[in-house]
Amino acid sequence: MVVVKAERVRRLPPYLFAEIDRLKADLIARGVDVINLGVGDPDLATPPHIIEKLAQSAQDRANHQYPSYSGMNDFRVSVAKWYGRRFGVDLDPMSETLTLIGSKEGLAHLPLAVINPGDLALVPSPAYPVYEIATMFAGGETFTMPLLKENGFLPDLEAIAPETARRAKLMFINYPNNPTGATADRDFYERVVRFAQKYDILVCHDAAYSEMSFDGYRPMSFLEVPGARDVGVEFHSLSKTYNMTGWRLGFAVGNRDAIAALGQIKSNIDSGVFNAVQWAGIAALDGDQAPVESMRKIYTQRRDILIAGLNKAGLHPAVPKATFYIWCPTPPGYTSKDFTSLLLSQTGIVTTPGSGFGEPGEGYVRMALTVSAERIKEAVERICGLDLKRPPQS
């Protein structure tokens, strides 16, 4: 038989990394020494004490059966304690926290919990693609909030018409931001809370990069703002903080009705996270945070090398205070895709076109600091060897 794909599958945009993956594979096959700055996946190892806790917990047969749907109580208690220590936010582990199979899983399921067909979600652009696609899967419509340089890559809430705001049920925000590297301050979060209160909108703050920050800057939690817990949920991940992308462990915290609704969706779809992984997560959150500090130092060094090199090449990106992304403007006359193609074909460097994260990302490419300082130096030499005054060939 011919399987006719559902409309929600047919409407999916072409996978952002598919074309780049194909070109990259071609180059590698031709023997090119490829430097991959394309993926947001840490190249550093998970700290040993976390791996040991997993190994030990995997031996314990008490962990071999189905885990609890909403997560192990001990893990949720650890999450609440971490929130208290890190942000001074007091959470009730049982009603205000939820274990996730990585934060992507929770972000993707949240619209199913709160969006009815035809409902509106306010979604930033450029952005992590999950927000828009998950809204579409739930039958919702998306209103795009462009993230522009002149606004510090924050959404302009004043630019959202009251009729639009009144229709909206959900708003996604993400700081420190992927892909722009931008950060948000208390004033922004206060404005978001007032806006959400006025129009009855649930705010979903994706804080995956809250611990990946530099130069002494420590991002705040959205939930630190008075009233935020009443209108919002915050999503965290152990993926970037502890180099655990493969482990699939994250959590959602905040508004208890939203947490309960997301938990109801999840208990009908998945059966939770392997308890041994949650014990390892407890070791990560409760344990020595020195590995997190050394991770920050490593990315700071890489960032500084790449920024200096790009400045030398005449590109002048902003210096991010957080995330492992450089949001680099393209040379005059080059679109995002022109520049990504040039870098790939002339230097073997893989980057991601800004336009792939949404149309307002045009004019930028995203470079991830996920290779060693040595390889970044090599990338810089190659970029500085390009003649960027020549118009694109495409």
Binding site for ligand PLP (CB under 6 A): 40, 102-104, 128, 174, 178, 206, 208, 237, 239-240, 245, 250
Residue placing its CB nearer to ligand PLP in the complex, 241 or 340? 241
Q: Supply the minimum distance, in Å, between the C-beta of residue 306 and ligand PLP.
A: 18
**Maximum Cα–Cα distance for the chain, whole Å?**
64
Beta bridge pairs of residue 145? 124
Between CA 136 and CA 117 the distance in angstroms is 9
Residue placing its CB nearer to ligand PLP in the complex, 371 or 386? 371
Q: Supply the minimum distance, in Å, between the C-beta of residue 245 and ligand PLP.
A: 5
- List the one residue out of 190, 135, 133 whose CA is nearest residue 168: 135
Residue placing its CB nearer to ligand PLP in the complex, 196 or 368? 368
Residue placing its CB nearer to ligand PLP in the complex, 42 or 309? 42
- List the one residue out of 269, 251, 4 whose CA is nearest residue 138: 269
SS3 readout for the chain: CCCCCCHHHHCCCCCCCHHHHHHHHHHHHCCCCCEECCCCCCCCCCCHHHHHHHHHHHCCHHHCCCCCCCCCHHHHHHHHHHHHHHHCCCCCHHHHEEEECCHHHHHHHHHHHHCCCCCEEEEEECCCCHHHHHHHHCCCEEEEEECCHHHCCCCCHHHCCHHHHHHEEEEEEECCCCCCCCCCCHHHHHHHHHHHHHHCCEEEEECCCCCCECCCCCCCCHHHCCCHHHHEEEEEEHHHHCCCHHHCCEEEEECHHHHHHHHHHHHCCCCCCCHHHHHHHHHHHHCCCHHHHHHHHHHHHHHHHHHHHHHHCCCCCCCCCECCEEEEECCCCCCHHHHHHHHHHHHCEECEEHHHHCHHHCCEEEEECCCCHHHHHHHHHHHHCCCCCCCCCC
Residue placing its CB nearer to ligand PLP in the complex, 99 or 178? 178
Q: Is the dihedral of CA 35, 176, 207, 233 positive or negative?
A: negative
Between CA 208 and CA 146 the distance in angstroms is 20
Q: Supply the minimum distance, in Å, between the C-beta of residue 281 and ligand PLP.
A: 11
Q: Supply the minimum distance, in Å, between the C-beta of residue 127 and ligand PLP.
A: 8
Residue placing its CB nearer to ligand PLP in the complex, 40 or 348? 40
Between CA 237 and CA 164 the distance in angstroms is 31
Q: Supply the minimum distance, in Å, between the C-beta of residue 102 and ligand PLP.
A: 3
Residue placing its CB nearer to ligand PLP in the complex, 53 or 104? 104
Residue placing its CB nearer to ligand PLP in the complex, 206 or 234? 206
Q: Supply the minimum distance, in Å, between the C-beta of residue 174 and ligand PLP.
A: 5
Residue placing its CB nearer to ligand PLP in the complex, 67 or 331? 67
Q: Supply the minimum distance, in Å, between the C-beta of residue 166 and ligand PLP.
A: 28
Q: Supply the minimum distance, in Å, between the C-beta of residue 179 and ligand PLP.
A: 8
Residue placing its CB nearer to ligand PLP in the complex, 96 or 206? 206
Residue placing its CB nearer to ligand PLP in the complex, 245 or 346? 245
Q: Supply the minimum distance, in Å, between the C-beta of residue 39 and ligand PLP.
A: 10
Q: Supply the minimum distance, in Å, between the C-beta of residue 378 and ligand PLP.
A: 25
Q: Supply the minimum distance, in Å, between the C-beta of residue 321 and ligand PLP.
A: 16
Beta bridge pairs of residue 328? 365
